[in-house]
Chains A and B, each alone.
Chain A
Amino acid sequence: MNAATIKPAPIRKTLSVKASREKAFKVFTEGLDRWWPKSHTIGEAPLREAVLEPREGGRWYGISETGAQDNWGEVLTWEPPARLVLAWRISGEWKCDPTVHTEVEVRFTEAGDGTTLVEFEHRMLENLGAGAVHAAEQMNGGWVMILGRFKDVLEA
């Protein structure tokens, strides 16, 4: 199997933000914790803080209520206030995995009238595949087991 031929479409989003390019970039990076959904964490405990170290090679990670850190990846490209590329190393099974390589790229362009165009892309999703299918099978197995028990109780 040649991995180069495997390419599900990247997720792309284009947003218009009423803020300067500098501010948009800063809020996205240093201000990550102020907007990152707290409901989304791969750790076992609830997410307390989301951190992005503002430099090339810096890490981005979550800190749970128990103080545990979950590495999400690192900053691959740091070009304030124009461009940011992050490695997203979370497998299809929602586990930190340093061998998983998907990329999140965000571009900030001035659009006039104090507005910034934000172009977002999450690509190389093919690298999530093995885990995704495995996780789906596990989930399916879990339901089969739960329903099986339910049936046992009903029929007892």
Chain B
Amino acid sequence: MTNALQRTDGAFAALADPTRRQVFERLGDGPRAVGELAAGLPVSRPAVSQHLKVLKAAGLVTDRPDGARRVYQIDPQGLGQLRAWLDRFWDQALAAFVAEAEREDTED
């Protein structure tokens, strides 16, 4: 448990930086290479690489080689996974809510 808490602290510290958080949130859309991540951000490619290194050390992202480049993605074991799960859960629940709210209208 102590180990889990320490890892969480690391994850939180990693997300405290706004640019780094932006990099992390972009990975919420799917795996990306460094160049793709840097293209939409007002920071240099080496800076994005540095942010990814910190995110990786915090256990928030993982990377794998893809030809000559490295592709990064949200670590399926970390906080990112929980957020993604909740996001899908609310999509499903709210779609059911809309259907119910509109169904009742037609009944009245």
A20 and B93 alpha carbons, distance in the complex (Å): 20
Number of A-B residue pairs having CB atoms within 8 Å of each other in the complex: 117
Q: How big is chain A's contact interface, by range? A: 35 or more
Task: Say if the beta carbon of B56 comes within 8 Å of chain A.
Answer: no
Residues of B within 8 A of A31 (CB): 100, 104
Q: Please pick, from A6, A28, A133, the residue contacting B101 in the complex, using a CB distance under 8 A.
A: A28
Indicate if A78 sits at the interface (CB-CB under 8 A).
Answer: no
Chain B: interface secondary structure?
A: helix
Q: Does A37 contact B (CB under 8 A)?
A: yes
Stretch at the interface among B43-51, B63-71, B77-85: B77-85
B82 near A132: Cβ-Cβ < 8 Å: yes
Taking Cβ atoms with an 8 Å cutoff, the residues of B that contact A are 1, 3-5, 7-9, 11-13, 15-16, 21, 25, 59, 77-79, 81-83, 86-87, 89-94, 96-102, 104-105
Q: Which A residues are closer than 8 A to B by beta carbons? A: 1, 3, 5-9, 11, 13, 15, 17-20, 23-24, 27-28, 31, 34-37, 40, 92, 114, 118, 120, 122, 125-126, 128-130, 132-137, 139-140
